[in-house]
Chain A
């Protein structure tokens, strides 16, 4: 046993020595990476660590942070009803728009894949444009205006489905669904581009082999040939859509107001924003941020292990 242990240590030491020698011979690499690595550590790694640290403290910027243990988390879960509304809304939005947006991205990328080249490139622009159009989603507040001038109200009243205008963006019953529609409209983003590009790269010979082996229609072809070939892109797209689905805040804040009626459109991020930049309770806000962070990482890992099984 001792022998084994010593051998292990020796091996380890050897490995480290090899690594150090390798590192010395590759000094240039570290120099090249240094600017990015320093900034990345400053603005991505350090903040996450700091956020976890501050989440155990009471910190209001004026006084130095005071350690209070798990109190922030306990308050969040047991006392803060609005936070629970935020969690519920975020989960609802994530569970509905996340997978739906992901599937839509893939579906449209796949459908336009067989179009002639120039139509395809126009289609990509049309589908991708909403997600880079910046604040264009505020135009939806015109469509969903609460009086009879709003397009949706006018349309529904003319058809005879409703007889009085609905307050779409003020009535808590309609807020979330409308936000979801807008988010779905914007959901064909980076993942969509990745799918379009990935589908172009699938080897044609595999499809021909598929005809020989009796792939009957496009759906079989999709499941047996296209999807297994697209796995890396599917992973990437999943990461993108999860990140987007959990980070919803701009749309709800722009459409439903901030704060919204009865907090009906509150998300975790809006809550974070509220405590961090309106009330300056940084410790509490960091606890929210940490919970959000853990939720997103866990969700990503779960989805990735699920996607590994596609088409196998």
Chain B
């Protein structure tokens, strides 16, 4: 009796083991596509690793430069990584630049303000437009959208001069609005938002309408909460454009100039400003990168619908 049960147990254990092996086997096969060679995979990964290093090197170098104390910055032969990393350069930005005519914090505030207001307005205005373009069929809608896609095909430089004349006529030159308001109408945001909203099921909107919601309610209550990934995408593109905006042609009073402009001035300030220049460079580049890191999966979700049909 006991013997039999022992054997049974053994058999059960064996069976389990076999099953496990089978599952493992299955997984292995499913993960690797059958028509791939292992050698090719390894070569590709090595190649990718090398390219990734090349791509990342300038950024890593910029960061480590900002962490170097001043004597290390001028060391010869130069070293890539800081040996005694400090935050001195960053505090210098606020301390020494704090005594200058326009303080560093002012430049920072200008850029933050422009970026924040511009992005918020762009998000609201472009989403409203994208919503009706994606979900309603009305005369002129398609033609307008085509026009927007054409607008993505040329650089902002083409419109720079008439824009200047127009903003001048409006009396907005040398105010924040000269940068903020044109940013509201960036075609990229509307395009991505519209493409993403087309993926929303129309039945959702119809159901809300039957329940008695008007268009505004549908927009704020149903559509916007459902397209959060697209928000992040709009935000990253808008922030990236505004944060890096030099605005040298639209703004000439020193106290309204942006961070990128300050960066250029600090860099042209010569050897004495080397450390601070490196620090500003990091401040300028780190913000868009951090936003991207935190919103990557949402952005990729949006970009899946970014295709230009027909």
Contacts and interface: CB of A to CB of B under 8 A. Distances in A.
Interface stretch (A4-12, A23-31, A78-86, A164-172): A23-31
A36 B126 contact: yes
Contact of A29 (B37, B136, B165): B136
Interface string B30-66: 0001111100100010011001100110110110010
B292 A286 contact: no
A285 B158 CA distance: 10
Contacts of B163: 43, 47
Nearest to B274: A142
Contacts of A272: 157, 160-161
A247 to B, nearest CB: 3
Interface in A171-200: 185, 188, 190, 193-194, 196-198, 200
Interface string B102-146: 000000000000000000000001101101110010111100100
A296 B155 contact: yes
**SS of B interface (majority):** helix
A96 interface: no
Interface string A234-271: 01100110111011010000000000000000000100
Interface string A208-246: 000100011110010000000001110110011011101
Contacts of A196: 300, 303
Interface in A135-149: 135-140, 142-143, 149
Task: Tell me the dominant secondary structure on chain A's binding face.
Answer: helix
Nearest to B278: A139
Given A51-B162, A111-B44, A197-B306, A127 B52 contact: yes
Given A40-B148, A207-B33, A35 B160 contact: no
Given A36-B125, A43-B163, A133-B285, A121 B59 contact: no
B113 to A, nearest CB: 17
Contacts of A32: 128-129, 131-132, 215, 219
Interface stretch (B9-17, B90-98, B183-191): B183-191
A207 B35 CA distance: 10
Interface string B140-180: 11001001111111111111111111100000000000000
Contacts of A132: 236, 240, 285, 288-289, 292
Contacts of A30: 138
B128 A36 contact: yes
A23 B138 contact: yes
B136 A242 contact: no
B139 A19 contact: yes
A43 B260 contact: no
Contact of A193 (B35, B185, B284, B303): B303
Contacts of A136: 58-59, 62, 281, 284-285
Given A32-B132, A201-B304, A130 B55 contact: yes
B78 interface: yes
Nearest to B157: A269
A20 B62 CA distance: 59
B153 A296 contact: yes
A201 to B, nearest CB: 5
A50 interface: yes
Given A36-B185, A185-B55, A135 B244 contact: yes
Contacts of B187: 40, 44
B52 A126 contact: yes
Interface residues of A, number: 99
Given A32-B132, A135-B263, A236-B308, A43 B300 contact: no
B87 to A, nearest CB: 19
Given A132-B240, A216-B35, A26 B281 contact: no
Given A247-B157, A292-B158, A33 B144 contact: yes
B139 A51 contact: no
Contacts of B125: 35-36, 39
B1 interface: no
Nearest to B297: A121
A115 to B, nearest CB: 8
Contacts of B237: 190
A289 interface: yes
5 contacts: A33-B141, A43-B182, A135-B263, A286-B161, A293-B158
Interface of A: 19-20, 22-23, 26, 28-30, 32-33, 35-37, 39-40, 42-48, 50-51, 54, 61, 108, 111-112, 114, 121, 123-130, 132-140, 142-143, 149, 151, 154, 185, 188, 190, 193-194, 196-198, 200-201, 207, 211, 215-218, 221, 231-233, 235-236, 239-240, 242-244, 246-247, 249, 269, 272-273, 276-277, 282, 285-286, 289-290, 292-293, 296-297, 300, 304
Given A47-B159, A196-B300, 15 more contacts: A26-B138, A29-B138, A33-B133, A40-B190, A47-B166, A129-B59, A132-B240, A134-B244, A135-B281, A194-B307, A197-B303, A243-B154, A247-B157, A269-B155, A304-B308
Q: What 5 pairs across the A-B complex have the smallest Cβ distances?
A: A232-B307, A247-B155, A36-B129, A47-B159, A197-B303
